[in-house]
Structures are given as structure tokens and as C-alpha cells.
Structure 1
Amino acid sequence: MFENVTPDSIVYLDRLAATDLGHSYKGRMLDELGVRPGQTVVDLGCGPGTDLNALAEAVTATGTVIGVDHDQAAVDAARERTAGQGTVAVHLGDIQDLQLADHTADRARTDRVLQHVTDPVLALREIHRVLRPGGRIVMGEPDWDTLTIDHPDSDLSHSYTQYVTDKVIRNARIGRQLPRLSAEAGFEVPTVIPVTPVFRDVQAADKILGLERTTQRAVTAGYFTDEAARRWLDHLAGGPFLAAVTFYIVVAES
């Protein structure tokens, strides 16, 4: 019923992008980005290049797309996947210390990246520095504090969410914080779009949430007893199942 082995990070990113949820929110982010032919777009935390080809199509042959990621394996995969795109360049780098000149980009995007960085405010200031006046960034981040998984024992649901927010995700509430943090970094924030996917299939949810793996880690951390973990997982496996989490798309302008 549950996936026991942690998937490779590239496999995980590809799998999420291929879902209806991935197609939907990524399409909405691209729409909000409003890329025009000839522009320079930076994809910060580009991973294996999932979105680079769509960005290259939007800027056309007259524009430039720059992918940046901190993971060499992801950079190698992104370079391989965009080898035929003359407008795309992919670099190994740190979103908090971008090796890009001031005011060189018209558009930027981050997709589930800021929840993991050490200092989101520093990253936002770097992005503000790199964007030209009037430039735009579109960011997509979950608020893991809104994670709701139905269970007859609501205390178990609360413990699971608390473990995720306390221990699993570095910046677990970044979704709700992004408008404020963006303003503090010098951006105007004209648009905030909440997206709340609802999962009714436990196996589909497990492929994104890693339900059993996370539960076992919660036992080790003292958030669940072994008996509570068994009751929790038994009900999730037996159903009916429902989980939801709010994902924020935030549009900010320099």
C-alpha cells in the first residue's frame, strides 16, 4: 500500500510534474509569470529542468532562459534535457548567492524551493537584485501547517502535521509568509493565489507525502508511539481517505 523506499529526488520531481496537480499549478504559475518573447527568465532551483523547455518556448529564439540549481546531478539532467535549446543555460549555484549581475532578468520563478533554503529573505533579496525594475517573480510554496489528513483520532492527525512542520520541512509555513517576506525584500505583491489540492486516493497521496516513511520517522522523533503509528497507518490504508494542503502562488514585482 505504501512506498517504503525514498525515491531518487529527480524521480520524485518528475513524478509530481507528471500528475494532474503538477500540470495544473505549473500552468497557472507560467500564466502568472507573463513571459514575453525576447525576455530573460531565471528558473531558480530548476531541478532536472522540468520547466525549462516551457520557458524557452515562451521567450522564443530571441530570449534567454537561465536555470540555477545547487545539486550537480540535477544540473547535469537539466543540461541533458535542454541540449537542443540554444536559448537555455543551466548553472550550478546557490539561490542565496546568485552569480548573476544586477538587473539582468525580466522574470524569475521558484517552485517549492524556498521551503528548503537556509535563509528565504536572503534569497528574495538576491532575486530582487537580479531582476530589472518592473521585473516579476512567481513563487509556488506549500504551507505545511495546513496539511490535513482525516482520521477518527484527530490527535494523531495533529501529531503527524506537527511533526512535518517541526522536523521535516525547514521553512514549513513559507507559503503564508511569502507575501510579507517579499515585501520586506523590496517587492510589491499584487497577487496571491491559494491552491488546495485534495487527495482521495491514499496511494496517490503517498507518492507525494511519503506517508509510511514519514510516520516511522515521527515514531523515532517521539511524535507517535509504535501503537499509535500502527493505528494511524491501518486506517489510512483501509480508508476512506482524504488529505489536503494549501499551496500558495505568489506574484511579486520589483
Structure 2
Amino acid sequence: MTTTVAPFDVYGKTDQLDTPILETMVTRLEARGEQARFQQMMGDYLEAMQIDQAQSVLDLGCGTGVAARTIAARPNFTGKITAVVLSDHLVASARQLAAREGVADQIDFRVGDSRSLDLPNDSFDAVVAHTLVSHVDQLAETLHEIARVVRPGGFVGIFDGDYASLTFSHPDAQQGQRYDELIISAVITQPRAMRRMPHLLAAAGLDLITHFPYVVTDIGRADYWIPALESFRKILPASGAMTAAEAGAWVDARLDESTRNIFFGSS
């Protein structure tokens, strides 16, 4: 008898991964953070949160600290940031990057679990969940924790994607759908989280104030999606979604499409 192991979202299990995979994540997260489109989207929600007025900010599921460093570097921000992530390796990387950018004294990076935070009630003026909610398996618990630690009248910014719509070009429609589903299983736990968000926010006692809808699409040439594609060479095999050979062939095919101006990637 043979058995197969279902693919898992590597970004939701950063406390269980080997260093090479975590370093691949660091590279991918930092490259995404440098993308102009990504920076614009982040800037939109930080402005809506009136983040410069916050004296205490929680960056939950902070990854390499892209959001925390962005907030700390804002000219009119004078507060302090607590940044929490599952992986001690990512905490170490985030600290190094913050020190390199001269904002380390404003950010307290620490290991923690978004589903059960070792933080007091009503302790933050603002909470940022920056590409977190699509990776947590107990989403309601995480949102209730966010509601618990933000002070009354404080702001919560949830930035994430509707990853059930994630799709890439492929010459065969059925095979393309199969690969899309494998990729989603490898990098996302909650692909429909944002579709459920209005209901989940209400259940957590949070009020929806505003929203910013985006579609991130490359057509013809790959640009925004390049860092993700390159990361898939290691992340897809690590998740169990594809073999290393299959992942490499899939990535090479998409990059070849980009050179021929026939690429498509969107979410």
C-alpha cells in the first residue's frame, strides 16, 4: 500500500521548517516588499489607519518585518512597534534587517502565536495583520485575539489576498487548473479568507470601516510575480505539492512564457 501526504502551507508552519526554506522565504518576502505596487497598497491602508498617530502598534505575523520597518521609517511616526512571528529564524532575520535600516530601536521583534498572544488586553493603538490571515488555520481565534489586544477606538489593518482566484498561464487549461490548485495548497491555508472577512470581523466584535480592492496581474511579461515564481522552486517541493523536478519545470515554463511575452499571473 502506498500513501501520499497532503501538501501544506509552508508560510503557516514557519516554526517547523529547515533553514534553507526559511531563507527562501526571507528572499521572497523582501523582494515583494520592494515592489512599487506592494508599497502602494501598504501605504493606502496605513494612511487609512492613521498610523502616524499611533503610539503602540502590533505587527502580527510580521515575517521579515517589512510592514514594521515601513511604519517605523515614516517621518511622522514616533511610536513603538511590537512585531510577532512564529519562527525564531524570521525574528533573527527581521532584527538584522531593522538594524540595517536604522529602525531597530523602534521595533521589538519576538516569537509568538497569533492564535494565543502573550499580550495584555487593550494594549495597542493599532494592529496590522499584513498577509497573515491567509496562513492561519484557526482564523476566528486570531481575529478574536486581535480584537482583544487593540484598545477601544483603535485601528486594525488586515491586508491579504483572495487566493482562491490565484492563477497562472498554462497552455493546457485542465493542467493549468491542477497546477493552480497545487500552488495554492503549498502557500495558502485560507484561500477564501477575505471573502469571509466581513462575517468574521463582525463575529470578533470588529467594525468594518473601509476597504481597498486590488487585482495584482502581470500580462505578457512577468514583473510582480517574478519573486514568487523563483521561490516556488524550493517552496513547492518543501510543501509536498510537487517534486523538485516538476516545480523547476513549471517555473522554467512560466519564465519562458514571460520572455516570449505570453505570461499571465494574477490574484
Measured against the shorter chain, the TM-score band is 0.7 to 0.9
Distance 1:168 1:74, change over 3 A: closer
Residues 115-126 of structure 1: matches in 2 within 5 Å? 115-126=134-145
Q: Which residue of 1 aligns with 2:132?
A: 113
C-alpha distance in structure 1 between counterparts of 2:196 and 2:249, whole Å: 34
Q: Which residue of 1 aligns with 2:95?
A: 79
Gaps of 5+ in 1: 221-225, 246-254
Tell me the TM-score normalised to structure 1 length. Answer: 0.78
The alignment status of 1:20 with 2:39, answered yes or no, reads no
* Residue number among 197, 204, 212 corresponding to 1:185 in the alignment: 204
The alignment status of 1:155 with 2:174, answered yes or no, reads yes
Letter in 2 for 1:100: L
The alignment status of 1:242 with 2:258, answered yes or no, reads no
* Residue number among 175, 188, 199 corresponding to 1:169 in the alignment: 188
* Residue number among 205, 225, 229 corresponding to 2:225 in the alignment: 205
C-alpha distance in structure 2 between counterparts of 1:193 and 1:184, whole Å: 21
What's the % identity of the aligned pairs? 25
Cα RMSD after superposing both structures? 2.9
* Residue number among 22, 25, 43 corresponding to 2:59 in the alignment: 43
Where 1:139 maps in the other structure, the secondary structure is: strand
The alignment status of 1:11 with 2:27, answered yes or no, reads yes
Gaps of 5+ in 2: 1-19
Letter in 2 for 1:39: Q
More strand by share: 1
Instruction: Single out whichever of 161-170 and 111-120 deviates more from structure 2.
Output: 161-170
Instruction: Single out whichever of 46-55 and 8-17 deviates more from structure 2.
Output: 46-55
Distance 1:233 1:44, change over 3 A: same
C-alpha distance in structure 2 between counterparts of 1:195 and 1:136, whole Å: 21
Q: Which residue of 1 aligns with 2:159?
A: 140
Letter in 1 for 2:225: A
* Residue number among 58, 72, 76 corresponding to 1:56 in the alignment: 72
Distance 1:67 1:219, change over 3 A: closer
Instruction: Single out whichever of 30-39 and 126-135 deviates more from structure 2.
Output: 30-39
C-alpha distance in structure 1 between counterparts of 2:89 and 2:235, whole Å: 25
Distance 1:14 1:215, change over 3 A: closer
Instruction: Single out whichever of 144-153 and 77-86 deviates more from structure 2.
Output: 77-86
Tell me the TM-score normalised to structure 2 length. Answer: 0.75
The alignment status of 1:104 with 2:120, answered yes or no, reads no
Instruction: Single out whichever of 113-122 and 127-136 deviates more from structure 2.
Output: 113-122
C-alpha distance in structure 2 between counterparts of 1:19 and 1:207, whole Å: 10
